[in-house]
Structure 1
Amino acid sequence: MLGLKLQVASSLLLLGALVAQAKYIVPGARWRDTDGELVNAHAGNVVLDNSTSKFWLFGEYKVQGQVEGGGVSVYSSDDLATWTFHGLALEPIEGHRYISPSSIIQRPKVIYSEAAGQYHMWWHADNSSYGLLLQGLATSDKIEGPYSFVDATSPLGNWSQDFGMFTDYKDGRTYALYSNGDRAEGRDVYLTSYNEEVTALDEVVHRFDKYDLEAPTILQTEKSYYALMSHKTGYRPNNVVAFRADSLSGPWSQPWIVSPLNTRTFSSQSGFTLRIDGSVKTTYLYLGDQWDSNSLWESRYIWLPIAIDDDKKTLAVEWHDVYDLDVKTGEYKTVEGKEYLATDAITNGNAFKQEANFATGGVIATGIEGNDSTVTFSGIEGTGKPQWVSFYYQNTDDMGYGDQPGGSPDRIGGSWQLRRISSVVVNGNVENVETLYQRDTHKGIILSTPLQLTLEEGVNNTITVGGLFNGFTYKGADIDKLVVYPPEA
């Protein structure tokens, strides 16, 4: 039986392993590491390593000018909120057939092989045309690397595209999850067991046949297995679905959507799930990616608690603007903030308030464009310290711009614009303008996106929202409300 040094696709937190109190987790924010740089580890996994008593985050390293083939980055954390960068765990090699700067190195997953006495990294290995559809393997004696390339192979002679990994916490057996491409003869997702050393696949356990899904991950409860996967829409978000089974070999249930309809899983794609066995409760986290195809290096992370009812056989991803997770006890709590509604805001220029029966106060601020048409919220209470502010908005770019680029996906020949960008100014200080990315929502669908702002102590702060150019328009999204949260302890 494989050792349980690590738990990967549904990682097991051993009680007492960590002692640090978690800081806030803020889905969709610009996460910065301990050096102040953006956390850059996309579509990867989180591993709890007992030898270091730390969580380790691995993911695709994407920078402007090189969004593929950048290698695999690695970070460590005591609390899943504060991340320290350790460089590239897998570094590209110029001229290498499988890990050159022009290669596809996607969805990396790391596990410790007790039988081999090494850390093993697997990923979707491909060329720039996606013509290989292989799985890569690299190994290291240290979890942070560097990892040395071993091979890239086809899984049991099959194709492999989006890649995931799962370790059964009860028996320690590890499995690969992979879609087998977009060709008509593919479009399946395979669940295949590894050998004891986790160096090769040995048996197909189940095939999710012709659902045409990708980005697979599995989490495990005491009674059930749940598989989460996304539809194939590229970097556009969609409604992630889940399946349930008593056994990995099935039978598996029909799929269902895991978040409110038309939120497109809160503008994210699945890819990994994390199980935290605390001293008080077991918590499950959805670790999704909020892709930004206009600037992939700016893509964000949507990490959210998962609500599971094994008796009812249900699973749902729950939205929280800001939450506080204690990785030792497994408990988390929603951080409460103070609301400021658009119905009380002041509009300027062509911006105006419009009736909206789905909005918090029955009114939404719209027509926000450039610096001339803005909406200002006043009387905002601050502490003089950095605070998270959530901007609740509606982005109706699905309504389209006629024949202009970025027209509606709900019309013939339409396409997605994916985001609007707003300017945010605190207390009229135009020398310090923050940028707020607002992904497409849908008609009547309100989502939120956060910024960390420093407000003056007292109740006389103002926040003004305008529009910035996003490649198609200077329009900002419609604003429903702001929620201002207390600073971290």
Structure 2
Amino acid sequence: MEMQRKAFVPGRLWPDHRGQHISAHGGGILKHEGKYYWYGEDNSQGYLNHVGVSCYSSKDLYNWTYEGTALKQENLPEELQGRHDGRIERPKVIYNSKTRKFVMWMHAERSGYAFSSAGVAVSDNPTGPFEFLFVDRPVAFEPDEGFDAHTGEWELGNSFRDMHLFVDDEDANGDGVNDAYVMYASEANWTLYIVRLNDEYTWVDLPAGTTRIRPQCKAEHLGSVWSRQLIRRMREAPTPFKYRGNYYLITSACTGWNPNQAEYAISDHPLGDYLVKGDPCIDDTERTTFDSQSTFVLPIDADKGRFIYIGDRWIPDELGKSTHVWLPLTIDQDGSVSIRWHDQWSLEDAYS
């Protein structure tokens, strides 16, 4: 039996209850009925032997139980199987209190990185199994620079890559369901898109009168249902969170598996506009986000500005050995974000 952990050790191998390194990369955490669920890419067999989306559970955030594969590679649609070398990246799961469904969104991809589409799956249970619904692209919009030819944006809509889900604590429509948004790198990673989801969280929200099963947002919906942010800044790995009515967004530059300097931006509305404030990492002399890339920010005590920054430290040649970087993230009275390195730390030490 594994020894019970009482601290986080960023950048080191992190065994689950079986003694095996946690393989939940590019993922996110859902807190449901007092328990945490950690979902992510299962890269334990390497990049070309994708297992699917793993799920782990914990009551204290230090010690994790492997719950299995929540969405298996073999249950993906045909266009993500076999010769296509299909895989899913950056999966996130949110809970819909109205439908009582757990909803997973992901970046669905295959060899060549031209597929670049959203995948959606649902489950009655947090640990799965998740039923895959469809792949599609939420937005069809032609930027001034034109559509990206590599990803076929003219025919299919704008590309969908690094993504995140965000559930607000507000119900703007008064329908009993908190508003939710999907944020993702689009236009071949040049620009970030933010799109409001429908009441079921299974696709995008659209004005009344549309008749298609999954209609795409058009240019005329810009500003009301979706927005373009960080235009032509080439940012990815969007990681949102909220503090005192303001919406925060951490992103990374696009440098493949290599880490780079993070930026954070702030807005007073989830659709933006977002004002870039700078690098949140304090004393990060290498300017590499402490050798990591953002994937999630977990609230611990949001009212007091206490969060956990969660990032991936990628090892591309041995992807299954990539480690996790969890660090305290705090927000000062002036709204500025700070992430500081700790070789080892606990919630009690960081937030006492």
* Equivalent residue letter for 2:269: S
1:294 Cα shift?
A: 1.9
Aligned equivalent of 2:350, options 332, 356, 362: 332
Counterpart position of 1:165:
165
Find the residue that maps to 1:79 and give its secondary structure: coil
Counterpart position of 1:178:
184
1:143 equivalent in alignment to 2:165? no
Counterpart position of 1:213:
235
Distance 1:94 1:139 in 2: 13
Over aligned residues, Cα RMSD in angstroms? 2.2
Distance 1:170 1:30 in 2: 38
* Equivalent residue letter for 1:77: S
Distance 1:301 1:215 in 2: 15
* Equivalent residue letter for 2:186: N
1:285 Cα shift?
A: 1.0
* Equivalent residue letter for 1:296: L
1:214 Cα shift?
A: 0.3
Q: 8 Å contact 1:23–1:325 — kept in the other structure?
A: no
Aligned equivalent of 1:275, options 291, 294, 299: 299
Aligned equivalent of 1:33, options 5, 10, 16: 16
Distance 1:54 1:98 in 2: 35
1:255 Cα shift?
A: 4.2
Distance 2:93 2:268 in 1: 26
Q: 8 Å contact 2:121–2:131 — kept in the other structure?
A: yes
Rate the CA distance shift 1:222–1:270 in 2: closer, same or farther, 3 A.
same
Query: Which structure has more helix as a fraction of its residues?
Result: 2
* Equivalent residue letter for 2:248: Y
Counterpart position of 2:331:
308
Distance 2:315 2:170 in 1: 37
Counterpart position of 1:113:
96
* Equivalent residue letter for 1:211: R
Any idea what the Cα deviations from partners look like across 1:156-195, whole Å, max 9, x if unmatched?
A: 232101111111124421110100153xxx5100111101
Q: 8 Å contact 2:229–2:274 — kept in the other structure?
A: no
Any idea what the Cα deviations from partners look like across 1:75-115, whole Å, max 9, x if unmatched?
A: 00011110000110000117842443621200000011223
Unpaired stretches in structure 1, ≥5 consecutive residues? 1-20, 335-489
1:319 equivalent in alignment to 2:319? no
* Equivalent residue letter for 1:235: W
Unpaired stretches in structure 2, ≥5 consecutive residues? 140-156, 172-177, 206-224
Q: 8 Å contact 2:229–2:273 — kept in the other structure?
A: no
Distance 1:293 1:228 in 2: 22
Distance 2:313 2:122 in 1: 29
Aligned equivalent of 1:84, options 34, 59, 65: 65
* Equivalent residue letter for 2:301: D
Rate the CA distance shift 1:281–1:308 in 2: closer, same or farther, 3 A.
closer
* Equivalent residue letter for 2:93: V
1:68 Cα shift?
A: 5.6
Distance 1:95 1:195 in 2: 23
Find the residue that maps to 1:229 and give its secondary structure: strand
Q: 8 Å contact 1:42–1:107 — kept in the other structure?
A: yes
Rate the CA distance shift 1:219–1:97 in 2: closer, same or farther, 3 A.
same
Rate the CA distance shift 1:119–1:59 in 2: closer, same or farther, 3 A.
same
Q: 8 Å contact 2:305–2:330 — kept in the other structure?
A: no
What percentage of residue pairs aligned between the two structures are identical? 34
1:44 Cα shift?
A: 0.4
Q: 8 Å contact 1:47–1:55 — kept in the other structure?
A: yes
Any idea what the Cα deviations from partners look like across 1:89-147, whole Å, max 9, x if unmatched?
A: 00011784244362120000001122322111110012211111110011111000011
* Equivalent residue letter for 2:109: D
Query: Which structure has more strand as a fraction of its residues?
Result: 1
Distance 1:151 1:95 in 2: 9
Q: 8 Å contact 2:107–2:163 — kept in the other structure?
A: yes
Any idea what the Cα deviations from partners look like across 1:328-351, whole Å, max 9, x if unmatched?
A: xxx7369xxxxxxxxxxxxxxxxx
Alignment of 1:66-465 (within 5 A): 66-67=47-48, 69-93=50-74, 96-100=77-81, 102-156=85-139, 157-171=157-171, 172-182=178-188, 187-202=190-205, 203-259=225-281, 260-277=284-301, 281=304, 283-311=306-334, 313-325=335-347, 332=350
Judge which range, 225-234 or 169-178, deviates more: 169-178
Any idea what the Cα deviations from partners look like across 1:340-383, whole Å, max 9, x if unmatched?
A: xxxxxxxxxxxxxxxxxxxxxxxxxxxxxxxxxxxxxxxxxxxx
Find the residue that maps to 1:93 and give its secondary structure: helix
1:25 Cα shift?
A: 1.0
Instruction: Work out the number of aligned pairs and report it.
Output: 303
Find the residue that maps to 1:264 and give its secondary structure: coil
Q: 8 Å contact 2:46–2:320 — kept in the other structure?
A: no
Per the normalisation by structure 2, the TM-score is 0.80
Distance 2:165 2:75 in 1: 28
